[in-house]
Amino acid sequence: MALSISGTVNDNQAGILRPRKTATPLIINGDMQIAQRGTSATAIGNTDSGYHVCDRWRFSEQGDPTGEFTISQSTDVPTGQGFVNSLKFDVTTSDTLLSSEFYRMEYRSEAQDMKVLKYGTSSAETTTLSFWVKSNKTGDYAISIRQSDDNRSLTKTYTINSANTWEKKIINIPADTTGVIDNDNGIGLHFYWYFDAGSDYTGTTQTTWGSYADGMTANGHAVTLLDSTDNDWYITGVQLEVGTFDSNSIPDFQFEDRATSLARCQRYYMKIGGNPSDDNVFGSGYAHTTTSIRFVTHFPASLRAPATAIETNGVASNYRILGGGASAKNSSAVPTFGACGLNSARSTATVSSGLSQYSGCIVDAGTDNAVFLAWDSEL
């Protein structure tokens, strides 16, 4: 049987003869299947820069904008591509931006994961960013790539041609033989997808690697997504491939099983509990005093770096102490942060009285399995 090849010779040599440079996807959770923080977040706008829904995907804003989004994990996906989820940004409060303002979605890669690109050497690799996108708002959108360690960047554009239609976009990124990505656990590359941007960010053309400047990060962006609450924007299937590809030669999206994808996300955000259908156990420990418990939570994956705080939800009585030389007791306060390493963390829980000092115990979800503990190690 004859082999049929489409695209250019160089594209197909890259796609067929040359395997991926890494066995795992460079973009984590590019199919938006993991959402440890929850499946929806409302009224996201000014002062809300951060991670809200799908793991590894960050909302950011600049200035003092007044617009707001509902961000959600959606089941609206391209037909026949294998995707189950997308990330949706729905404008719920419109805004006319000042020159100093913007809204965007961001992905931050870990530096040591990007060493395969060999930036700063004569052997630096080209890359290809691809993704599926959908919006009712057609036109040109900016996407900016920034290298943190040497503060270099470039900006590309993509066009949504048809309203409310999933389209696959291919962005070719040149090699950077000048800027070096450090071999550490800091930020390697930022990827910014702009929704709306003021004139302070759209004035300078820079489509090849050069020194970072605010004025070029959204150059070419022509869409005002925030001009109406009728507007929305979806994305899924984000992948970064080493090499230069077109729509014919780009490798298929590399799906990971849920357990693998979750473990990779847990490196940056570790959440224990929060599942109403499970009997959530947070850790084991001992009665440090007659009113306090010190307990340890062992993580299923290693954190990128030790967290400096603990996140909790619910009320004190949702957390329960079993053991400690007493009958089961509800906590008198939500657990507090003790210390955190890469593989475990210590926390403290308290009760009003009645513990036997130094006796063993466990801490679990007593009256509400939706409660959780979480440790943030995001970039």
The verdict on 280 and 237 lying in the same domain is no
Of 26-30, 69-73, 320-324, minimum mean pLDDT range: 320-324
Identify the residue with better confidence: 204 or 242: 242
pLDDT score at 275: 85
| Strand 372-376 to 311-312 pairing | antiparallel
Q: Which residue has the tokens 């990779």?
A: 264
When the pLDDT of each residue in the chain is averaged and rounded to a whole number, the result is 94
Asked if 64 and 103 count as a contact pair (C-beta separation under 8 A), the reply is no
Q: Is residue 249 part of a domain?
A: yes
Asked if 363 and 281 count as a contact pair (C-beta separation under 8 A), the reply is yes
The verdict on 242 and 211 lying in the same domain is yes
Share of the chain above pLDDT 70, in %: 94
Question: Residue 28 is part of a domain; what is its CATH number?
Answer: 2.60.120.260
The verdict on 252 and 310 lying in the same domain is no
What's the whole-number mean pLDDT along residues 326-331? Answer: 91
Q: Is residue 4 part of a domain?
A: no
Q: Is residue 2 part of a domain?
A: no
Q: Is residue 1 part of a domain?
A: no
| Spacing of C-alpha 179 from chain mean position | 24
Q: Which one of 266, 292, 321 terminates a domain? A: 266
Which residues span the domain enclosing 118? Answer: 9-266
Identify the residue with better confidence: 22 or 215: 215
CA-CA-CA-CA torsion for 240, 241, 244, 249, nearest 10 degrees?
-110
The verdict on 302 and 365 lying in the same domain is yes
The verdict on 251 and 338 lying in the same domain is no
For residue 307, what pLDDT band results from cuts at 50, 70 and 90? very high
Q: Take residue 289 and report the two structure tokens written for it.
A: 């005093």
Q: Is residue 159 part of a domain?
A: yes
| Strand 319-323 to 333-340 pairing | unpaired
Distance in angstroms (rounded) separating the CA atoms of residues 350 and 285: 12
Q: How many domains does the chain have?
A: 2
pLDDT single digits (tens) 91-106: 999 999 999 999 999 9
Residue 201 phi/psi, 5-degree rounding, is -115, 0
Residue 85 phi/psi, 5-degree rounding, is -130, 155
pLDDT at 14 over 50: no
pLDDT score at 6: 39
For residue 218, what pLDDT band results from cuts at 50, 70 and 90? very high
b/e burial code for range 306-320 (CB count within 10 A of at least 16 → b): ebeebebebeebbbb
The verdict on 279 and 242 lying in the same domain is no
Q: Take residue 197 and report the two structure tokens written for it.
A: 């941007």
pLDDT at 11 over 50: no
The verdict on 245 and 305 lying in the same domain is no
The verdict on 227 and 282 lying in the same domain is no
pLDDT score at 3: 41
Q: Where is 262: in which H helix or E strand?
A: helix 258-266
pTM of the model: 0.94
The verdict on 305 and 204 lying in the same domain is no
Asked if 90 and 43 count as a contact pair (C-beta separation under 8 A), the reply is no
The verdict on 102 and 230 lying in the same domain is yes
Q: Take residue 50 and report the two structure tokens written for it.
A: 């951060």
For residue 17, what pLDDT band results from cuts at 50, 70 and 90? very low
pLDDT score at 20: 64
The verdict on 252 and 193 lying in the same domain is yes
Distance in angstroms (rounded) separating the CA atoms of residues 153 and 189: 9
pLDDT at 322 over 50: yes
Share of the chain above pLDDT 90, in %: 90
Q: Where is 10: in which H helix or E strand?
A: helix 9-12
Q: Is residue 82 part of a domain?
A: yes
pLDDT score at 327: 87
The verdict on 38 and 173 lying in the same domain is yes
Q: Is residue 231 part of a domain?
A: yes
Q: Which residue has the tokens 């965007």?
A: 104
Q: Which one of 266, 300, 331 terminates a domain? A: 266
Radius of gyration of the chain (CA): 23
For residue 366, what pLDDT band results from cuts at 50, 70 and 90? confident
pLDDT score at 13: 42
pLDDT score at 279: 78
- Helix, strand or coil for residue 287? strand
For residue 1, what pLDDT band results from cuts at 50, 70 and 90? very low
**Greatest alpha-carbon span in the chain:** 79
pLDDT single digits (tens) 153-174: 999 999 999 999 999 999 999 9
Q: Which one of 234, 266, 298 terminates a domain? A: 266
Q: Is residue 206 part of a domain?
A: yes
Asked if 150 and 189 count as a contact pair (C-beta separation under 8 A), the reply is no
pLDDT score at 22: 66
pLDDT single digits (tens) 123-150: 999 999 999 999 999 999 999 999 999 9
